[in-house]
Amino acid sequence: MTGPAREKLAVLIVGAGFSGLAMAIRCRQAGIGPLQVIEKGDGIGGTWHDNTYPGAACDIPSHLYSLSFAPKPDWTRMYAPQPEILAYLRETAERYGLMPLIRLGTTFTGATWDEARALWRVETDRGPIEARAIVSGMGGLHHPAYPDIPGRDAFAGPAFHTATWDHAVDLAGKRVGIIGTGASAIQVVPELAKVAAHLTLFQRTPPWIMPRHDHAIPARSRARYRRLPLVRRLERARLFWLHEVRALLGFTKVSKLTAQAEGLARRHLAKAVRDEALRAKLTPPYRLGCKRVLISDDFYPALQRANVSLETDGIARITATGITTETGHSHALDVIVYATGFDVTASFARMDLVGRDGLRLTEAWADGMGAYQGITVAGFPNYFMLLGPNTGLGHNSVVSMIEIQVQHVLDCLKALKTGDRSIEVRPEAQGRFLDRIRRRLADSIWQVGGCRSWYLDANGRNTSLWPDSVMAYRRSARRARMADYRRG
Ligand code: NAP
């Protein structure tokens, strides 16, 4: 290997999505280097590079779903569409001079801690790299999950996942089947309904859906945000607290507010869907908040188009020509779209990380994933995760979580910069943190709300979400408490 791969890096950042880019910017500002970002995709943007399905957009308002230190005053819509978010990330990377630091098309396959030299020996599909510290900006939503349905490979027509959209397939005039009714599905269904000859939506569990109220941000507001940064900051703060209040009022637990929110969502459904039988099929049989609460104004109307049908019988098998349900009904299809989400556990566990004394991350996590503040794991010095276990959010912008984590990691990297060879969380600090999380999760909505979601792992434990407000996470994680770390 030639060039930068031979160089011993101070920090290797894995992933050029929101997290990796934010980390790289902050490292540069703090004078931490040499630094490199590797990215498996052929472009930067992470989730916003991968997910290009028609209708892809963010369900958190744009002014909140952006980096506080890299503001964009001229977002065109309340909820930015995917191309605009991707353009924002590209512009931000350019503006902060990150592009020369990023190696695209380079997949992180594993790393081994070299105790004697106090560095990570990293394996990629493009050769080895050595780095004193690794920051994972990989997140948990990048391994598409395909359902284990008999005959899945038998289908003769095109079949693809929402996260790997095949734009070469023209869906106009086609009979399209789409499996899944999560956040991705409800965005893509209204778009496909406009072009397909017939669209069949295969629903296993109906989602709770709230009104979205998306709208263009008027030119005069954009001009004002550009001219008066304080006004933009106030708008961001307003949006932050609007979302944060959901957690503070008990969004994480079954409460009086749950019933009120369910009432609001039921009214949204009743207003949009007059047909009682269809409404019954679309009414969730579990408590609101147990799965991610979705927002949409066009999903219910799309389902009532003449060329759209909702199939709620279970899928028995996929055949060469379509999908057959458990009641024996065969749907003839030209194309199948999998809106079936991501394999979160695999995203974290698949990487072959070997820490101190040969401990593998998969062994450390044999009973489930867990990390101190969702960031560091005992036995894995100088290894940091952004959007690691238990730091996802259902109620607010994950970008706020990323920024808190970046600050925490920066504290640790600064300790390395000023002479420490290694920094590793103490097992007792990690244990205390995880106990705290588990206690809080025990009676949380995700555990007792009567549903099964991707938030829960194979043992039925929520290893995905932060069970409190963003402000609580900020208090907990923003500064790295050095007493909780062992420095070598
Ligand atoms: P998801 O929420 O995991 O939804 C997957 C869907 O596929 C569910 O409806 C699930 O049904 C269904 N499914 C899975 N296996 C099935 C099977 N064998 N038969 C029938 N149905 C099956 O995935 P997603 O919609 O891609 O969203 C994943 C996450 O990505 C979201 O929670 C969110 O964090 C993020 N996201 C965010 C946005 C945004 O706007 N910010 C947009 C898209 C995605 P069950 O409910 O019955 O399991």
Last residue of a domain, one of 315, 338, 361: 338
Same structural domain, 262 and 398: no
Quick one: 260 and 368 in the same domain?
Answer: no
Q: Which of 298, 323, 338 is the last residue of a domain?
A: 338
CA neighbor of 423 nearest in space, from 435, 414, 436: 414
Would residue 285 count as lying in a domain?
yes
Q: Which amino acid is at 23?
A: M
Structure tokens at 329: 């009904």
Per residue in 344-361, is it b (16+ CB within 10 Å) or e — as a string? Answer: bbebbbebebbbeeebbb
Would you say residue 2 has pLDDT above 80?
Answer: no
338, 372, 387 — which closes off a domain?
Answer: 338
Nearest CA to ligand 1 atom 18: 147
For 16, the domain range is 9-142+343-487
Looking at the DSSP bridge assignments, the partners of residue 352 are: 110
Give the model confidence (pLDDT) of 72-116 as tens digits: 999 999 999 999 999 999 999 999 999 999 999 999 999 999 999
Q: Which of 204, 326, 455 to mutate to test the pocket of ligand 1 (most atoms within 8 A of CB)?
A: 204
Q: Which atom of ligand 1 is nearest to the CA of 65?
A: 41
The CA distance from 352 to 9, in Å, is: 20
**pLDDT tens for each residue of 194-210:** 999 999 999 999 999 99
Percent of the chain whose pLDDT exceeds 70: 98
Q: Is there a contact between 8 and 35 (Cβ–Cβ < 8 Å)?
A: no
In a domain, 213, yes or no: no
Same-domain check for residues 331 and 195: yes
Which of 297, 340, 393 most suits a substitution to test ligand 1, by most atoms within 8 Å of the C-beta? 340
Is the pLDDT at 215 greater than 70, yes or no?
Answer: yes
DSSP structure string for 83-152: HHHHHHHHHHHHHTT-GGGEE-S--EEEEEEETTTTEEEEEETTEEEEEEEEEE---S--SB-----TTG
| Mean pLDDT, the chain, integer | 95
Neighbours of 89 (CB within 10 A): 23
Q: Is residue 32 part of a domain?
A: yes
Structure tokens at 171: 């869906």
Note whether 181 and 311 are same-domain residues: yes
pTM of the model: 0.95
Environment class of residue 130 by beta-carbon count within 10 Å: exposed (0-12), middle (13-18) or buried (19+)?
Answer: middle
Q: What is the pLDDT of residues 232-263, one digit of tens each?
A: 999 999 999 999 987 667 678 888 889 999 99
Q: Where are the alpha helices (DSSP H) in 160-274?
A: 183-195, 219-227, 229-248, 256-272
Do 357 and 415 share a domain, yes or no?
Answer: yes
Say which CATH number the domain at 193 has: 3.50.50.60
Cα–Cα dist 340/371, whole Å: 27
Q: Is the CB of 315 under 6 A from ligand 1?
A: yes
pLDDT (tens digit per residue) in 323-377? 999 999 999 999 999 999 999 877 777 779 999 999 999 999 999 999 999 999 9
Mind listing the pLDDT tens digit for each residue in 278-328? Answer: 999 999 999 999 999 999 999 999 999 999 999 999 999 999 999 999 999
The length of the chain is 488
What count of other Cβ atoms lies within 10 Å of the Cβ of residue 100? 8
User: For residues 38 and 60, what is the distance between their CA atoms, to the nearest angstrom?
Assistant: 27
